[in-house]
Chain A
Amino acid sequence: MSIGTFPVDIIKSRMVVHCMKAYKIKEEAIKLFLLICSITVVMLLFGIFLLLLLKTIPAFKEISIKEFFTTPLWNPAGYYKEQYGILAMVVSTLMVTAGAMIIAVPLGIGTAAYLNEIANHKVREILKPIIEILAGIPSVVIGFLGIVLLGPIITKVFGVKSGLNALNGSILLAVMALPTIISISEDALNSVPKSFGEASYALGANRWQTLVRIKIPAALSGIIASCMLGMGRAIGETMTVLMATGCATAMPHSFFDPVRTMTSAIAIELGEVAFDSTHYYALFAVGLVLFLMTFAVNMASDVILNKYQLMERK
């Protein structure tokens, strides 16, 4: 028997080798294609960074770095002298973003907890897509709502003269950051092993205790990462803040002061700036600072998310 089948086996195994070769070539090709894809993306990121850096360098031939980072006022078309200080813009950006986070984080985590813990399957299936649609509303529409709806409400509720201020921007940005926070936090809560909750119930804990003491801490890194991603969106948002925050260049002292963020400054001025002028390069410098800020936030969220995935594997 073995003698009879022997040659057949050899032929079979040769065919297999042959097939394996074709298969391997195909697989290598796919691998190469995917590698090129990811290299392109990375190159794009580096390209943007490099471009910003190259365009930024000429700015500091005329502006001192100290003036740029430590003086508050930005007035490139000043009547007496040109002023290039980004401090007020950076403070404005951070203020509006921090305000947005203060509103969006509790609201987002609360909604995620509700969706995960309390809502039944049907409610969740309806609510989740609705929340995700919220992410698709164009920023210009949200900005418009800020002017005609939220502005007058703020003037009435807080008794201030004008509703176009940092608070208005913060609330709108919170609305824009919410879908990200809710969606990813809910996923994080979902991926907490069921046994955690069951063990907690077995020890006599109620649902609230289980949620606050067991589930949220277990999903914490995912929740933090979601907040970071939401924050990244808020820092970089342009049209909404441009329309709703009042755009004054002065250093803000409270949430009821009008503010002009870095993104608004770039959006307003880049359209009419003279090519190759100091002002032009200074705007790229603002862009670079903004890029580094969002980059830092995204990196932080990535690190946290990684840690969370490692913990999951254990």
Chain B
Amino acid sequence: MKMVRSILIGLVMLGLISNVGYARQKYVQVKGSDTLINLVQRLSEVYMETHPGKAISVTGGGSGTGIAAIINDTADIANASRLMKDKEIKKCVKKGINPMRIVIAIDALSIVINPDNPITDLTVDQIAKIYKGEITNWSEIGGNDETINLYGRQPNSGTYDFMKKHILKGDYSPKMRQMNGNAQIVMGVESDISGIGYVGVGYARSASGIKVVKIGKKEDGPFIDPLTVSDASTYPISRSLQQYVSGEPKGNVKEFIAFELSPKGQEIVEEEGFFPVSKAYKEVNRKAGL
């Protein structure tokens, strides 16, 4: 009896081990940007429903974390809300990795404030000055006499980087609260009448208890609302959201990315509050073989 039992256990264990090996082949790991996590999670759910037997795991951690995972080969796809930095590209070259960029959606970054704040429009220049700490009171730009409380992301976030490089073109005020994700920024601004924050438009759309500010390039407008704009490229603070893979995508990874770019995938992109990939970016994707 004992022998039979141990043989049975052995067989079961063998089965488990071989199963793990089998699963590893089909298992695609996606890691990175917190801005992209909800979208890609939704995409992967629909993909797994329509493609039985495929498994995809999506985790966050920030764009930097995702790109580092590609370099260290601990993930198959990196979600990134920013482009790779020179330093990161150098590291890829060192390791013999050829990172490929695939744009899967376009994001309009929304500036959010408390609903009780009378401000409705801001220019890009004003936003930069607010976050650099040059404008510190709402009354300076026609609001209440309240000290501005800044809410931003942590340095490992692609959104943090994007704002710094393309909007601020300078350093953040050290008084900015570095929040641990979009949801925390929304939570902070919701309960702080003098707060201001920046989040991906997908988050702004689904969040309640905040007000989204209209943004203008110049003082005389036009001021554009990211929630209602039809062409993302006219909105002053828009950016591409991409995935990086090591080398030209193949097999399961390629299949999943192709799904993301398919009409069905792009429909989900719009449902999640982002904008579909524009023509110029489709050209970028063609280079990666998609």
Contacts and interface: CB of A to CB of B under 8 A. Distances in A.
Contacts of A277: 87
Given A162-B149, A272-B155, A242 B191 contact: no
Contacts of B193: 161
Given A79-B171, A162-B149, A272 B62 contact: yes
A271 B62 contact: yes
A88, A151, A272 pick with most chain B CB within 10 angstroms: A272
A125 interface: no
Contacts of B88: 274
Given A162-B188, A272-B64, A274-B87, A73 B174 contact: yes
Contacts, number: 86
A75 B174 contact: yes
A232 interface: no
A161 B194 contact: yes
Contacts of B179: 247
A269 interface: yes
B164 interface: yes
Contact of A260 (B168, B173, B178): B178
B192 interface: yes
A260 B178 CA distance: 9
Contacts of A147: 184, 187
Contacts of B187: 147-148
Contacts of A275: 91
A139 to B, nearest CB: 14
A79 B156 CA distance: 15
Interface residues of A, number: 34
B115 interface: no
Interface in A52-80: 73, 75-80
A79 B176 contact: no
Given A78-B171, A271-B61, A162 B156 contact: no
Given A161-B193, A164-B188, A271-B61, A250 B155 contact: no
A207 B289 CA distance: 84
B148 to A, nearest CB: 10
A155 B180 CA distance: 20
B171 A248 contact: no
A246 interface: yes
A78 B165 CA distance: 10
B224 interface: no
A248 B173 CA distance: 9
B64 A258 contact: no
A249 interface: yes
Given A77-B155, A269-B155, A269-B156, A243 B180 contact: yes
A268 B191 contact: no
B195 A161 contact: yes
B110 interface: no
A100 to B, nearest CB: 20
Interface string B99-132: 0000000000000000000000000000000000
Contact of A247 (B154, B191, B195): B154
A236 interface: no
A250 B173 CA distance: 8
B64 A268 contact: no
A169 interface: no
B175 A250 contact: yes
A164 B179 CA distance: 10
Contacts of B154: 247, 268
B258 interface: no
B282 interface: no
A268 B156 contact: yes
B68 A272 contact: yes
A209 to B, nearest CB: 48
A152 interface: yes
A162 B194 CA distance: 9
A247 B192 contact: no
A153 to B, nearest CB: 11
A161 B196 CA distance: 12
A79, A88, A275 pick with most chain B CB within 10 angstroms: A79
A108 interface: no
B65 A272 contact: yes
Contacts of B174: 73, 75, 88, 248-251
Contacts of A287: none
A75 B172 CA distance: 9
Given A75-B174, A79-B170, A271-B156, A162 B61 contact: no
Contacts of A77: 155, 164
Contacts of A230: none
A163 interface: yes
Contacts of A249: 174, 176, 178
Contacts of A260: 178
B191 to A, nearest CB: 6
Top 6 A-B residue pairs of the complex, sorted by shortest distance between their CB atoms: A272-B64, A250-B174, A272-B156, A247-B178, A246-B177, A249-B174
Given A73-B174, A79-B165, 7 more contacts: A79-B168, A79-B169, A246-B177, A247-B154, A269-B156, A271-B62, A272-B68
